[in-house]
Amino acid sequence: MTASRLQHIVSSGIVLFVAVIVTWISFTQQPADAFLFPRLIAIFFIGLAVWNFIRAISGMAKVGEGLDSTSFINIVPGLVVMAVYVFFAAKSLGFYFASTIAFLTVFTIYDSVPLRDIRGWIKRILVTAIFMLVIYGLFAMLLKVQTPRGIWF
């Protein structure tokens, strides 16, 4: 299976956009000596990005299976939990508290056991508690890593 032509055009277009930004910055920013190596790399980067984009619009890009709508819909809830956990909850709620909630949430969202099954909930809570105890033992007690405590822990 390969991604659709449109998906290839969009992905190679994004890479080309990044290459243009990198090239533009490399050749316009000062001091020029600090951008000597970036300029060298930017030349190859933009050359390859243009080639890749041309291959995509001409339908020659075949490598990569792309992302189908079912997979994308499956990913969205987990991605949202992960983004909220990393970008907001971990620092504001505290690493251990936020991790416990995030672990339990991901486990619950993707667990095939129905939500109304009490035994399923007991298993989820037990696994989460054991895993977080191991993480606490490893990072807080063994490695002595000081993590943000936030408003909880």
- What is the footprint of another protein within residues 43-82 (CB under 8 A)? 44-45, 48-49, 51-52, 55, 61-67, 70-71, 73-75, 77-79, 82
Answer for which of 6, 29, 58, 126 binds another protein (CB under 8 A) is: 29
**Structure-block tokens of residue 78:** 């987990």
Residue 110's Cα: distance from chain center in Å? 18
Shortest Cβ 112–another protein spacing (Å): 4
Q: How far apart are CA 112 and CA 105, in angstroms?
A: 13
DSSP-derived 3-state class of residue 34: helix
Size of residue set near another protein by CB under 8 A: 74
> Residue 35, interface with another protein (CB under 8 A)?
yes
In sequence order, what are the residues at sequence separation of 6 or more whose Cβ sits closer than 8 angstroms to the Cβ of residue 109?
77, 78, 81
Question: In the range 88-127, which residues lie near another protein by CB under 8 A?
Answer: 90-91, 95, 99, 102-104, 106-107, 109-112, 127
> Residue 131, interface with another protein (CB under 8 A)?
yes
Report which residue type is found at 42. A
